[in-house]
Chains A and B, each alone.
Chain A
Amino acid sequence: MVTRRLSRPAVLCYHCTDLPFARFAPLAEAPVSMIDDRTVTHVARLSRLELSAQEVAQFRAQLREILAYIQTLNTLNLDGAPPAAQARPAADVLRDDVARPSLDQKEALANAPAVEDGYFVVPPVIAEE
């Protein structure tokens, strides 16, 4: 067996990176007209959803309609309204650092689509050279 450390996917998104020189370019509003087939295809790619051409068109129409409805939020004055704080539910939410028994291998693999020698199997993942 060859063990090779794999690369993480590249961090190139300018707003989602903590590399020191990132430039942030927010959009104050997202015009509905920007929902074109290309956007739908891009979003489908990000979501790992394979769509037919017909589905792309259908989803485009539906997403446009839904997003137009959502645009009503843009009329609101949000001054003085911070993002809703997460519930502060309990006094102590931390877990003591004590190891407990895990699932046994059989249980862990029980629902797996493909298994080999105790591993989950996926198509080859390659870092190209």
Chain B
Amino acid sequence: MTYETVIGLEVHVQLSTASKMFCACAAAFGAPPNTLTCPVCLGLPGSLPVLNRRAVELGIRTALALECRIHPESQFHRKNYYYPDLPKNYQISQYQYLTHPPLATGGTLSVPSGKAVRRVGIRRVHLEEDTGKLVHVAGRSLVDYNRAGVPLMEVVTEPDLRSAEEARAFLIHLRAVLQFAEVTSGRLEEGTLRCDANLSLRPPGGPHGIRTEIKNMNSLRSVERALRFEEARQRQLLDGGNPVAQETRHWDEGREITFSSREKEEAQDYRYFPEPDLVPVQIDAAQVEGVRAGLPELPDARRRRYVEAFGLPEHDAAVLTATRSMAEFFERAAAVLPKPKVVSNWLIGDVSAYLNAEGREIDQVPVRPESLAALLALVEAGTLSGPSAKEVLEEMLRTGRTAEAIVAERGLVQISDEAMLDKVIQEVITEHPGPVGDVGAGKVQAVTFLVGQVMKKTRGRANPALVNRLIRERLRVP
């Protein structure tokens, strides 16, 4: 029996604001516990919420970037449940119910998928407040409310995704869009972007199956793996004639499984009702146009610009615009060294390899775009060889030191002195008569071997192109 996988995502995005959603405490991280709280975000008796203007603006920006319909009036609701990280034991959120629309509904995100484009429906975009953090130690749990009240935006898709890969691609693109729109820093690992998923299987064209909710996927990799696991798990159940239970399952990164948390059988009843302490959010056309005018360049537009203005291949442009930080870095580097393809190659190649290995983004390493440009300029000028440059780059990425300093310290300046190179070439020719003979016999590949030997003798510092030319001249290779 073939099944079609149906996936919908609920993405929580922490908004880039200075203060919290409903109070003026700083929306900052890393502070000592319970030092960024006030009567409002602590839920002290008598406190009242006041909505952050910028959060609304960022919500509008997101709605525009996702081509949603923005509702001129939207309401907040209370979602009532008991949990220690929820100071009031209700969360102020926006619920879609009867005549109360959330901030925005009915949008689309076009996700590049190879040469094609996959259009994923966006069901809704709404605003809400984040909860505090729980820390678990033996025999007790500790609560820190610094994060309570931080502005969150929830983006819910239609169940339009059909595979774990698609879900991952969607997340990457959504993250890029939100980063470019300067709505969020959007880092999954840091929790500024969090994702829950709903997955079900159905016979192609058939009715929707029972779906499960999957939580606790803390990286793009976990999202993909968790969904693949869950897909297989449900398929196995259905193939065996067993029903899928409608439940919430958690992804266990260590064991690489989803497990059902043994929640109570009875349903969680949130008793939603309109938040009486807040008046409906009013958004008029003029305000929307104002936000639209100020919208930063989004990934699709930027990708096109990279292809047209910089002449980069589609694929390069796509990789460079996967995150805002990378795109910004690229442009600043290319401004200093106007060889976009060169800059692109290094960023997509060695730099990205390093970042992936370290699990970091480019704005989390100490190298500045100007420094990379300076390094590449040395290569272009022939002062530094390619292989040497790779060494230098690695240290730059780790330490933030300039290329100049590292090159000087290690004495890596490329040898382009023909006279000096001639001497080494002479040595190599003398030491390797075999390959020299091969060259004479027409096996031009042997030149490469000889070049390699020269590189070895000069510990990689010789200018390989120049060495190649000199050897050919010497051996009279046409």
Contacts and interface: CB of A to CB of B under 8 A. Distances in A.
Direct contact of A and B (CB under 8 A): yes
Interface of A: 1-14, 16, 18-21, 42, 46, 48, 82-83, 86-89, 93-100, 102-105, 108-109, 116-129
B53 interface: yes
A108 B34 contact: yes
Contacts of B81: 9
B333 interface: no
B34 A119 contact: yes
Given A86-B276, A122-B84, A102 B36 contact: yes
Contacts of B216: 5, 7
B261 A121 contact: no
B136 A94 contact: no
A98 B18 contact: yes
Contact of B270 (A16, A48, A100): A16
Interface of B: 8, 17-19, 24-28, 32-39, 42, 50-56, 75, 81-85, 95-96, 99, 123-124, 134-137, 139-145, 156, 158-159, 198, 208, 211, 213, 215-216, 218, 246-248, 250, 252, 259, 261-263, 266-272, 274, 276, 278-280
B142 A116 contact: yes
The 7 closest A-B pairs by CB, nearest first: A97-B54, A119-B142, A100-B24, A99-B26, A94-B53, A13-B267, A12-B267
Nearest to B79: A16
A116 B34 CA distance: 11
Count chain B CB atoms within 10 A of each CB in A13, A104, A116, A119 and give the residue with the most. A119
Contacts of A16: 95, 268-272
A11 B261 contact: no
Among A1, A2, A9, which residue has the most Cβ atoms of chain B within 10 A?
A: A9
Contact of A9 (B37, B54, B83, B252): B83
A19 B268 CA distance: 14
User: Of B39, B134, B252, which is in contact with the most chain A CB atoms at under 10 Å from its CB?
Assistant: B134
Contact of B248 (A7, A20, A124): A7
Nearest to A12: B267
A93 B279 contact: yes
A96 to B, nearest CB: 6
Contact of A118 (B34, B56, B213, B272): B34
Given A2-B135, A20-B208, 7 more contacts: A10-B268, A20-B198, A108-B34, A108-B145, A118-B33, A120-B34, A121-B141
